[in-house]
Amino acid sequence: MRPTALITGGGRGLGAAIARDLAPDHDLLLGGRTEQSLGTIVAELPAATPWPVDLLDHDAVAAACSGIDRLDVLVHNAGVASLGTVADSDVAQWREMFDANVFAVVALTRALLPALRAANGHVVLINSGSGLNAKARWGAYAASKFALRAFGDALRQEEPDLRVTSVHPGRIDTDMQRAIVAEEGGEYRPERFLSPATVAQAVGQAIRTPADAHPTEIVLRPR
């Protein structure tokens, strides 16, 4: 029986790239806000099934997870990013970062823990270089990613039968990155960033690592 992987934010960018990497040897549940947003990647990958749910609606998440009895891989890829100084950013912006990048991850993981335990599964947290190093104007986002790293560290110790991998890529060539560069007022040059396929390959390698090893942390930077 092929293992099953659930990938949040699976409709485009890094999530879609991870789906393409895992599709040859995994059955896929691809998370997104709507089924329509997942149509292109699901049509491309016969192994993929849409899993539309608003991750910020924790009751809807619990309902969507209720039929999943066994899950081999959970990839937390969905997230948001916005810039602002501490002086200029309001509490609502910080709350938005934590709601999407931390609390949604906690809620989904908790809902799927029985299924992950049944499979001795693997949780992959797509973190960021900002989860290791906070910079000016990135405070709210970095704080959420530091918290995500702490969540992964705690989960790894509390659930010894699971593998938990935190992935800290540098900036990736995605639509989100284009929006960030526009917010920074810079010129977008995709060659300056990591390819989604490169990061996806690193994620796939971690997932395929033989069971006697535990890949706990992966850090990638553009050359």
What are the per-10-residue average pLDDT scores of the chain (223 residues)? 97 97 98 96 97 98 97 98 95 98 98 98 98 96 98 98 98 86 86 95 98 98 94
CB 99 within 8 A of CB 79: no
Give residue 179's pLDDT: 83
User: What number of CA atoms fall less than 13 Å from residue 67's CA on the CB side?
Assistant: 5
In a domain, 103, yes or no: yes
Give residue 95's pLDDT: 98
> In which domain, by residue range, is 79 found?
4-207
Give residue 9's pLDDT: 97
Give residue 24's pLDDT: 98
Give residue 167's pLDDT: 98
In the numeric block, which tokens belong to residue 112?
């799927």
Q: Which of 177, 178, 216, 173 is nearest to 198 (CA)?
A: 173
CA angle centred on 83, ends 102 and 137, rounded to 5°: 105
Three-class secondary structure of residue 159 per DSSP: coil
188 is catalytic: no
DSSP letters for 173-220: SSHHHHHHHHHHT----GGGSB-HHHHHHHHHHHHHS-TT----EEEE
User: Position 33: which residue type?
Assistant: R
Strand order from edge to edge, sheet including 122-126 = 48-52, 27-32, 4-7, 73-76, 122-126, 163-169, 217-220
CA distance readout (Å), 107 to 4, 58, 168: 20, 6, 21
* Active-site residue (options: 50, 81, 125, 141): 141
**Can you tell me the distance from the alpha carbon of 211 to that of 169, in angstroms, rounded to the nearest whole number?**
23
Give residue 185's pLDDT: 82
In a domain, 167, yes or no: yes
In a domain, 14, yes or no: yes
Identify the H or E element spanning 51.
strand 48-52
In a domain, 221, yes or no: no
In the numeric block, which tokens belong to residue 64?
């969507």
CATH number of the domain enclosing 104: 3.40.50.720
In a domain, 183, yes or no: yes
In a domain, 215, yes or no: no
In a domain, 223, yes or no: no
In a domain, 218, yes or no: no
Give residue 1's pLDDT: 87
| pTM recorded for the entire structure | 0.96
**Eight-state DSSP code of residue 76:** E
